[in-house]
Structure 1
């Protein structure tokens, strides 16, 4: 007889432990063990939360190199779930095999788990192909594509919460924190009489009531400086939506701005400043014609502005012209900083409301949440746990499917907060998402190319760009190292059928088979694979952080980011006042609900996982593990440099600090 030493690690999640009986079968190249009940001196406590328990499994002879294990949980006293983290097996020859699991076992069926060495389908053991196929067949049943609305990325099919597989649900801790944050926010608003109030705000100062107890350093700064032109321009670089601004080399035909309008006194000329690269444009054309919401039987208003900005000799970015509708007309004036105070301020408010809606639908929901879900569902459907790309990407899918499920059922559903309180809620949102997807290109998802395409390589004080490019390079080198370890040449990429199915599914269900997007339909080279996987990780971590974490910072003070507007824009200069501006801004209830939602969506949970931290030991080989450590080291260095830089900034930029970035789209 020979003995195998089996060590079982139970996870640290709430309720991860079990008191049921656990049976194990070892399968090697030369045979398999009998199904053996795992018993030791710990008895019923062998598989409690965070336990590490060792057992002996005996075989008549050695069964050779271990390939997989079979685990079965059988009913003893009370049926419960179990979350094993990993199993380590030491063979009689002295070799230790690692079996990563990190999955809930909720039934009494036999579950197979592969040894941790990563293998593509074309190099797998012949005796394991059947199990590989069975795993993918099961995943295909659990993770099904669903068309939420025509013309936008497909999502995972889940009509109710129980349709979500246990492995992709929030932890108990996060569930409690999420409900608590939401609940306390709503109670606070109701106690203050704001949640359901249809009253208008009497003046700007009164709006601060809705922020009591929920302010941040930046939200306080926004409250003090939201009227300032230089802060208005600054937000296009380092606010929550740095994705719209472009360098302008020629004015659009529908934006007839003249030198006399923007540079009175002939200090500058548009032609000269455009040649110098000092003129920038923000065009909200996708909002043009989007059907604005009706809230409490009142028509809401949403414009599609054109905004011209000028980089001053002091390196400040200031708005110099705003046209609130796309088509020039007498009743669509071009507003200027020299106009009466409330004309100019109201024009900026309409722009900030447009930016809020464009940001939420395009930059945030579509380009991070929905695409991250596509990447995740395709991964879970097409790649088995033993595949190297699964091991690399599975940490970057954590909690994404449930947070998107909650968004569809509680934010953008018929009774959702966004539907009830935002200008693009309801029908308008789908229209905007459809238009936005048509403009999503592969290059726009890759920050080095996106920055170059928008002509923003040398814009001063652009911290999103500075930190983002450094992060992209760090992620790229990490991905290049890991995938280069497994894919030695282009031929290996081309013959990996599971990998090709992954990208094919993404192209079909994420980008609706539109070749114009530039998204690859298949991989032919290692470098193509490395770039695409870098984009996936960057999108699910850094990019999401850039457009999500600062939502309350910049939107908590409502006048800086109104979710909707209650009056049409002025059609003639000199007709606005403080009173008309207050009538235009959202009422107390809309303000309070919008701010409360932004607070919830900006608050990380206590079990968040920062970028580069991998709680699960999915990789067994030495090289990937060393690359992970090097990756973490580079992120720490960048984080330290960002912190040092921020010490000298009046408004620190923290959204691309690796310590603040979550590994996946979790909120």
Structure 2
């Protein structure tokens, strides 16, 4: 009898656990805005955040009590319907203060589950929040599970009151299963959670929703405000092809039923919008504050003539960071209640706005003017991914001649051979010594409309360069082309400008270089940066969450590389790429900026985004099995390519080791139903305007899966870092990377020509970005070039328990060690005097692909994701 009673007692066991939560308002922008000291002086953001964290923890511990209920679900024992058995409801208990791993603003609670022996091993849990306020659920850890040990559940999700959900929220243990290997009792839960994340495709999304769905870019314009602010819908048509963005379901505008009405609060799935938690929110709120508050105030200052809109000299431009910009006191008083702006711009005194010193002029103030630096930045600047090896002469256009006429280059061999150091053009091409930065086809179709704008006068440019014996590039010629509009003739009218060091010809050469850089700045921002990273990755984010369970190995592989991307993209649609947004105000494309981006997307090819493929396609590398990376670079000292190939190979090696853990054969890839659905949606919905392209991988083999995942990770991490975090270091000095051109090259006999001859600086400044637009540009790119204090870098995870698979963890550690070795090698290369392109005349080492970084404007660091 005693043994029977003892047996009954042993059947029930208390499983001890700890739940980590975080309160909503750890970093609330409204709290920051209103927080002032007793003397009325705004405190630093860090101090405000510290106070808020303490208050939020106190509030949370008072409120939780029995307001949060959990149920464990078995992964090994099923009920009569085949679903995992659900344990008894339990509640959070007392607060734990002894967990050393708690992050800022986090607090932990004890919890005990009643768990009978016949319930098996837990694999998931349900949770209900009975409070009115949402909170952030960080994790659940269970201890001493019989026949298992410790179990981790990484949650990282917002929980609203349970009445907001049709089904109770569910979280799975950090196990990894392809669909066919999922424990039977968890299969239905796995499928149901994915269905919840897909939603039904109808209705306006609410803040608490976690639904991922697709839509076109139909929210950039404001047709109800003005006809001039209407913008075409991007995506869903042959004319305006584009990747898809996250669906919000807002109402259409009154004047255009195909356009969605913009609003101040853009929906993104709740867990994509960390909101008031992360220090990176401080940066994104900074962008909002600049767009909504600072820029309108600044505009009014210029409208009231408080500040002249023209720079008077190059020294005047340098004063943006060395002495500051004098603004009217009334403007500074209006800015002063906005600590985000004061933190970013570091206002000194009552009438000065002062920026950071851009890296490109920290050592030399004039190196930016040299031909050597102009050329070096094509391979080690902020847009080092466009230069190509010249394969034919003269350069040809791919524009349709039936529409645009003959767009062939007017550059002759004689133009080149003047400075070709004894080579003929044919010999230089044969020896792979000629290169071209070709912006002609991108801008020519838009030039007529662009040059009709009041503030724009631009060319479509081609620049040809020569590879010297010392490994550096020398510009040989710049071609500036305009559409031929005389008597409705087609084709182009071109100026061919040669290098010059003296007299008015040297000023013309400097202006020609400025027009090239204006083309390049626009191409970089709209295509290399926005389109080829932010926009093209969002469909992968959406499809991954809709089709790959959190239990799926590929979900676990890719998830860190999606962090904050939908959030920052929504912010961009709200403030940066929208009608009259920052890009339209301060870059060449103006109101046609996103149309230029759309036109470029038609030529986007997913497999070509892999760095080795890209380099080969541009003629910058040749396959060579004897080389360490399997490629031989045509320019040996090509900093972006040299560093990038090492990062690429580390990524691909890690992905290969990881994928092969779960897919032993190609057949296993083919039979993975979630993987099939994921890729089908990426191609047919996310990138639906290109769905019929033959270049899409089929994803039927392990190699296709490895290459595709490596490419996604490369785009979201290293490639984005290479084209983003150099924006302010190079472009913060507007003379080095102007974003607008307002005058064409003056013709002899005109007053502008005489001015150019007498005052070259004034001619240059009247051609490029004026003061107001420069301040708009600098205000934003300084924020976008910064790292947040909670950034997670390539080779790192924000949770060491992201998987229970020790094999995967070991492979990931090897990845991290490879990146550490690469970082050392990059630093060594930057100190090698024989590698002249590593630093150049500006004495600015190429550090953008160093994997790690500190907080702030560091000009280095590869975050895991497109998070800013």
TM-score scaled by structure 1?
0.92
Equivalent residue for 1:134?
192
Gaps of 5+ in 2: 1-10, 27-55, 79-84, 200-210, 218-233, 236-240, 251-262, 323-354, 397-407, 485-490, 621-632, 833-838, 853-860
2:434–2:464 Cα contact (<8 Å) kept: yes
1:6–1:89 Cα contact (<8 Å) kept: yes
Is the counterpart of residue 176 in structure 1 residue 282 in structure 2?
Answer: yes
Cα deviation digits, residues 547-585 of structure 1 (max 9, x gap): 001001111111222221112344679945424333212
Equivalent residue for 1:91?
145
Equivalent residue for 1:155?
245
Give, in whole Å, the separation in 2 of the partners of 1:421 and 1:314.
37
Is the counterpart of residue 30 in structure 1 residue 184 in structure 2?
Answer: no
Cα deviation digits, residues 464-491 of structure 1 (max 9, x gap): 1011111111111111111110111111
1:2–1:92 Cα contact (<8 Å) kept: no
Equivalent residue for 1:107?
161
Equivalent residue for 2:224?
none
Equivalent residue for 2:400?
none
Among 303, 320, 325, the residue aligned to 1:210: 320
Matched position secondary structure for 2:192: helix
Matched position secondary structure for 1:324: strand
Equivalent residue for 2:573?
408
Equivalent residue for 1:317?
473
2:94–2:110 Cα contact (<8 Å) kept: no
- Once the two structures are TM-superposed, the CA of residue 397 in structure 1 deviates from its matched residue by 0.6
User: What does residue range 238-253 of structure 1 map to in structure 2 within 5 Å?
Assistant: 238-251=380-393, 252-253=395-396
Equivalent residue for 2:846?
653
Matched position secondary structure for 2:159: coil
Give, in whole Å, the separation in 2 of the partners of 1:135 and 1:320.
60
2:462–2:479 Cα contact (<8 Å) kept: yes
Give, in whole Å, the separation in 2 of the partners of 1:268 and 1:93.
76
Give, in whole Å, the separation in 2 of the partners of 1:647 and 1:599.
27
Among 118, 122, 126, the residue aligned to 1:62: 118
- Once the two structures are TM-superposed, the CA of residue 206 in structure 1 deviates from its matched residue by 1.3
Equivalent residue for 1:639?
823
Is the counterpart of residue 594 in structure 1 residue 641 in structure 2?
Answer: no
Equivalent residue for 1:469?
645
Cα deviation digits, residues 559-617 of structure 1 (max 9, x gap): 22222111234467994542433321222111111121211111111211111211133
2:479–2:494 Cα contact (<8 Å) kept: yes
Matched position secondary structure for 1:62: helix
User: What does residue range 180-329 of structure 1 map to in structure 2 within 5 Å?
Assistant: 180=286, 197=307, 199-212=309-322, 213-220=355-362, 223-251=365-393, 252-253=395-396, 254-264=408-418, 267-284=422-439, 285-290=441-446, 298-325=454-481
Give, in whole Å, the separation in 1 of the partners of 2:19 and 2:658.
26
Among 167, 178, 181, the residue aligned to 1:120: 178
Equivalent residue for 2:788?
605
Cα deviation digits, residues 501-554 of structure 1 (max 9, x gap): 211222124433536755535311011000000000010000000000100111
Is the counterpart of residue 533 in structure 1 residue 709 in structure 2?
Answer: yes
Cα deviation digits, residues 179-216 of structure 1 (max 9, x gap): 35775898699799976656222222211222344113
Q: 1:33 to 1:324 in 2, by over 3 A?
A: same
- Once the two structures are TM-superposed, the CA of residue 445 in structure 1 deviates from its matched residue by 0.1
Equivalent residue for 1:543?
719
Cα deviation digits, residues 204-235 of structure 1 (max 9, x gap): 22112223441133343574212111111101
2:266–2:570 Cα contact (<8 Å) kept: no
Among 481, 486, 509, the residue aligned to 2:662: 486
Matched position secondary structure for 2:129: strand
Matched position secondary structure for 1:5: strand
Among 612, 615, 618, the residue aligned to 1:451: 615
Give, in whole Å, the separation in 2 of the partners of 1:512 and 1:12.
39
Instruction: Please give the root-mean-square deviation of Cα atoms over the aligned residues, in Å.
Output: 3.0
- Once the two structures are TM-superposed, the CA of residue 294 in structure 1 deviates from its matched residue by 7.4
Equivalent residue for 1:10?
20
- Once the two structures are TM-superposed, the CA of residue 127 in structure 1 deviates from its matched residue by 2.7
Give, in whole Å, the separation in 2 of the partners of 1:424 and 1:509.
28
Give, in whole Å, the separation in 1 of the partners of 2:317 and 2:642.
35
Matched position secondary structure for 2:590: coil
Matched position secondary structure for 1:467: helix
Give, in whole Å, the separation in 1 of the partners of 2:302 and 2:779.
9
2:383–2:723 Cα contact (<8 Å) kept: yes
Cα deviation digits, residues 91-115 of structure 1 (max 9, x gap): 2345333322121112225211122
Matched position secondary structure for 2:657: helix
Q: 1:121 to 1:471 in 2, by over 3 A?
A: same
Give, in whole Å, the separation in 2 of the partners of 1:191 and 1:441.
41
Equivalent residue for 2:494?
332
Matched position secondary structure for 1:122: helix
Give, in whole Å, the separation in 1 of the partners of 2:792 and 2:765.
42
Give, in whole Å, the separation in 2 of the partners of 1:222 and 1:411.
32
- Once the two structures are TM-superposed, the CA of residue 282 in structure 1 deviates from its matched residue by 1.3
TM-score scaled by structure 2?
0.72
Give, in whole Å, the separation in 2 of the partners of 1:119 and 1:258.
62
Matched position secondary structure for 2:446: coil
Give, in whole Å, the separation in 2 of the partners of 1:436 and 1:162.
26
Give, in whole Å, the separation in 2 of the partners of 1:233 and 1:215.
22
- Once the two structures are TM-superposed, the CA of residue 389 in structure 1 deviates from its matched residue by 1.0
2:644–2:849 Cα contact (<8 Å) kept: yes
Equivalent residue for 2:45?
none
Q: Which moved more, 1:129-138 or 1:536-545?
A: 129-138
1:218–1:651 Cα contact (<8 Å) kept: yes
Gaps of 5+ in 1: none
Among 604, 609, 616, the residue aligned to 1:440: 604
Structure having the higher Rg? 2
- Once the two structures are TM-superposed, the CA of residue 129 in structure 1 deviates from its matched residue by 2.4
Equivalent residue for 1:361?
526
